[in-house]
Amino acid sequence: MLFNSFEFFVFLPIVFVLYWFVLNKKLSIQNILLLLASYVFYGWWDIRFLSLIILSTILDYYVGQKIHNTEEPKKRKYWLWLSMGFNLGLLGFFKYFNFFIDSWISGFNSVGIEMDPFTLNIILPVGISFYTFQTMSYSLDIHKRKLTPTKDFVAFATFVAFFPQLVAGPIERASNLLPQFLRRRKFNFNIAADGLRQMLWGLFKKIIIADNCAPYVNEIFADYSNQSSGTLILGVIIFAFQIYADFSGYTDIAIGTARLFGFDFKRNFNFPYFSRNISEFWKKWHISLSSWLNDYLFTPLAIEFRNYRKHGIFTALFLTFLISGLWHGAGWNFIFWGGLHGLYYIPVIYSKKRFTSITTNKSTSKKEDFSFSDFPKIILTFLMVCLTYIFFRASTITDAFGYIKIIITEIPRWPAGVPYKSIFFIIIVMVTEWFQRGKEHGLQFNENSTVPVYLRWTIYLVLLLTILVFSGEQQEFIYFQF
Amino acid sequence: MSNYITEFEFLFREVLENEDIVLANETTAIDIDEWDSINHIYLVVEIEKHFNIKFSSSEILQWQNVGEMIDSVKAKKES
């Protein structure tokens, strides 16, 4: 079920009414409702793959107890590896099998050993990269003795499958989300109303910007060799806003939906295109994934390599970005995308005595001080990120290099078919978010805000009307494929 | 314990380049702006060097606050 679909707008109010007004007497019944609703939400897309989620849930629930109840380090490790092996095995088979086989065969072919192509027709189960990472963090945290496993199976199953964040995150940690299933939620009108505003803002970004930019970007990347360099430059810039509107829009809807049910998700985006350097960008973009990679991959690697000082830290960071690339997609272009981000850290790591990390979980809600001299840095960081997007969006690594070659070698001409309408809405959203950058989302008002009620409602109505009038053709969320 | 805290405070101030840092057993990375994942690695290296000890990776990954870090050092120095 898509957030931007008719089904969801029937599904959500039904679950909301049942949750707060019909089945509100007992916490366990509310949790069962959320679990069933989550399974319906996922099963709507493909009921067969629900079995994978259920299997992963049962295994990690059991493994969590086992790790906790075992003192012997070897046995604890054995149980942990069972969880890792199973979840990574699921990912490996459904997401990477064809990629590895393909790469293996072309490797042999390139050294003159002929092998027949062999791939399987595997459908990628939506959300698999997200829920496997979420359940793995549960086992890892118990193994590190940072978390006590729950004995409430329904709460755990709902934590794994909770519909607002099941298919594209935020990747929640058990330490934040699981306790919320174990205590009674209270309906708070102000939080729910702000959740609705956040959903509206997310829908606006998705339907007005992402869906309208998609056809333009698709056409350029599908036929890049016949485009002028000006068009190619504009194409990747528009893609940068498309993917931001798509993914941060999705996240706003997810967080807003959770708030309607009294849940508080961790922040996933913090206006990343206003970053002044690459490390700031990674603190603000897809925070739940970068903090996951930071805690479970970068930190253990960096600890292992710590005696090599800066070289060790750079190696750990570079490897983390390569894995991040592979997480996004089974293709060399994604690995290259990650590698390029890793390389961007060379000046950050080697030029300073001390520096900041790829991400922190610290609250960054206060409005940061910007000066006019920061704008060139913001634009430079954005352009660096755009360069990596060519690899991210192109179908193959060869296409990406072909795309860049045209940009470099041709004299730029004014781009063809400029999508003025999309650019107009992009400007509206970016200017709004610039002024709202100290808040959690673009449509949040302070509790003591002086914006009069009639003006607020005018804004909501204008946004809704714009969605109705200027909506692009419905597109799936980009991150569903990861 | 108080001695260890003082020595830790000295190391933290050195590595994180902030003279105002004051540590307690309950202090975590959330409380100190400069204490991020990369500086954490530098802290570990400096603590190992200062006390002339070596932690295992799993030991480091289990720490939840300054108190637990000090416990690890204490266990190694006083055993």
- The vertex-A159 CA angle with A140 and A317, nearest 5°, equals 40
Q: In the prediction, which pLDDT does B78 show?
A: 80
Distance to chain A for B21, nearest Cα, Å: 16
ipTM attached to this prediction = 0.88
> What was the pLDDT predicted at A24?
84
Q: How many CA atoms lie within 13 A of A319 on its CB side?
A: 15
Of A346, A294, A345, the closest CA to residue A323 belongs to A294
How far are the Cα atoms of A91, A94, A423, A476 from residue A123, in angstroms, in the given order?
A: 12, 7, 35, 16
pLDDT band at A482 (very low <50, low <70, confident <90, very high): low
User: In angstroms, what separates the C-alpha of B61 from chain A's closest C-alpha?
Assistant: 7
Buried b (16+ CB within 10 A) or exposed e, A437-462: eebebbbeeeeeeeeeeeeeeeeeee
Contacts of A145 in chain B (CB under 8 A): 62
Query: B-chain residues within 8 Å CB-CB of A358?
Result: 37-38
pTM beyond 0.80? yes
Contact A360, A398 (CB under 8 A): no
- pLDDT at site A354: 52
Predicted local distance difference test score (pLDDT) of residue A368 = 61
Residue B33: predicted pLDDT: 82
Q: Do B62 and A146 touch (CB under 8 A)?
A: yes
Cα dist. A53→A48, A233, A478, B45 in Å?
10, 41, 21, 41
B5 close contact with A: CB closer than 8 A: no
Mention every residue, 6+ apart, whose C-beta is less than 8 A from residue A162.
A34, A38, A172, A177, A258, A263
Confidence of residue A450 (pLDDT cuts 50, 70, 90): confident
Q: What is the mean pLDDT of residues A142-164?
A: 93
Size of interface A-B (CB pairs under 8 A): 57
A465 to A77, A191, A346, A459, B47: CA distances (angstroms): 56, 24, 47, 10, 60
Q: Are A260 and A188 in contact (CB under 8 A)?
A: no
User: Is some CB atom of chain A closer than 8 A to the CB atom of B29?
Assistant: yes
In the stretch 36-65 of chain B, residues with CB closer than 8 A to chain A read: 36-42, 44-45, 57-58, 60-62, 64
Q: For tokens 């939506």, name the residue.
A: A126
pLDDT at A451: 79
Residues A316/A301, Cβ–Cβ less than 8 Å: yes
Question: Nearest to residue A54, comparing CAs of A197, A129, A158, A138?
Answer: A158
When CB atoms are compared, the residue of A146, A294, A312 closest to B37 is: A294
Q: Is B30 in contact with A361 (Cβ distance < 8 A)?
A: yes
The dihedral formed by the CA atoms of A466, A242, A344 and A230, expressed in degrees to the nearest 10:
-110
Percent pLDDT > 70 in chain A is: 93
* Core vs surface per residue A15-29: b (16+ CB within 10 A) or e: beebbbeebeeebee
- Report which of A291, A319, A321 is spatially closest to residue A305, judged by C-alpha positions: A319
**Which of B12, B13, B28, B36 is best to mutate for the A interface (most A CBs within 10 A)?**
B36
For residue B58, give how far its alpha carbon lies from the nearest alpha carbon of chain A (Å).
Answer: 8
Tell me how far CA of residue A84 lies from CA of A141, A296, A359, B57, in angstroms: 12, 12, 23, 19
Report CA dihedral (A47, A48, A54, A59) to the nearest 10 degrees.
-170
For A144, nearest residue in chain B (alpha carbons): B62
Whole-Å CA distances, A314 to A70, A283, A344, A400, A459: 36, 17, 11, 25, 47
Q: Which residues of B touch A279 (CB under 8 A)?
A: none
Summary count for chain B: helices (H), strands (E): 4, 0
Write down the pLDDT at residue A365.
44
Contacts of A282 in chain B (CB under 8 A): none
Chain B closest CA to A376's CA: distance in Å?
Answer: 25
Q: What is the pLDDT of residue A355?
A: 45
Residue A353 pLDDT class (50, 70, 90 cuts)? low
pLDDT of residue A366: 47
Collect all residues with Cβ–Cβ distance below 8 Å to A263 and sequence separation of at least 6: A162, A164, A177, A180, A185
CATH architecture of the domain B2-77 equals: Orthogonal Bundle (1.10)
DSSP one-letter code for A145: T
Residue B16 contacts A where some CB pair is shorter than 8 Å? yes
Residue A363: pLDDT over 50: no
Q: What is the tens place of the pLDDT at every residue in A256-282?
A: 999 999 999 999 999 999 999 898 899
Model confidence over A280-325: pLDDT tens digits? 899 899 999 999 999 999 999 999 999 898 899 999 999 999 999 9
Measured in whole angstroms, how far is the alpha carbon of residue A115 from the centre of its chain? Answer: 37
B44 vs A144, A303, A360: nearest CB: A303
Spatial CB neighbours of A173, under 8 Å, sequence gap ≥ 6: A134, A137, A141, A266
Distance CA(A124)–CA(A395), nearest Å, equals 17
pLDDT number for residue A361: 45
Question: Which among A386, A278, A400 has a CA at the least distance from the CA of A341?
Answer: A278
Give the pLDDT band (50/70/90) at residue A468: confident
Confidence of residue A480 (pLDDT cuts 50, 70, 90): low
Looking at the predicted structure, is the pLDDT value of residue B65 above 70? Answer: yes
CB contact under 8 A, B38 and A313: yes
In B, minimum Cα distance to A141 occurs at B62
Q: pLDDT category, B2, cuts 50, 70, 90?
A: low
Q: In this complex, do A357 and B60 lie within 8 Å of one another by their Cβ atoms?
A: no
Contact B33 A362 (CB under 8 A): yes
Greatest CA separation for chain B:
34
pLDDT band at A384 (very low <50, low <70, confident <90, very high): very high
- Of A298, A303, A353, nearest to B60 by CB-CB distance is A303
Q: What is the pLDDT of residue A112?
A: 74
Name the residue of chain A whose CA is nearest to B37's CA. A357
B50: how many CB neighbours lie within 10 A of its CB?
14
pLDDT value at A110 more than 80: no
Q: Which 8-state DSSP code applies to residue A369? A: P
- Pick the most confident of A348-357, A425-434, B13-22: A425-434
CB contact under 8 A, A300 and B61: yes
The residue-averaged pLDDT of B38-66 equals 90
> Worst-scoring range by mean pLDDT, A46-55, A138-147, A463-472, B61-70?
A463-472
* pLDDT confidence of residue A127: 85
DSSP string, A308-333: GHHHHHHHHHHHHHHHHHHHH-SSHH
Which residues of chain B make contact with A353, given a CB cutoff of 8 A? 17
Q: Which residues of A touch B (CB under 8 A)?
A: 73, 144-146, 294-295, 298-300, 302-304, 306-307, 309, 312-313, 353-362
What angle do helix axes B2-16 and B66-77 make, rounded to 10 degrees?
120
- pLDDT, tens digit, for every residue of A181-226? 999 998 999 899 999 999 999 999 999 999 999 999 999 999 999 8
For residue A418, pLDDT over 60 is answered with: yes
Is the predicted pLDDT of residue A401 greater than 60, yes or no? Answer: yes
Candidate list A143, A286, A328, A441, residue with the active-site label: A328
Residue type at position A422: S
A328 is known as an active-site residue: yes
A300 contact residues in B (CB cutoff 8 A)? 57, 61
Distance CA A322, CA A338 (A): 5
Written as six digits, the tokens of A337 are 């995308």
Q: Give the span between the Cα atoms of A331 and A98, in whole angstroms.
A: 10
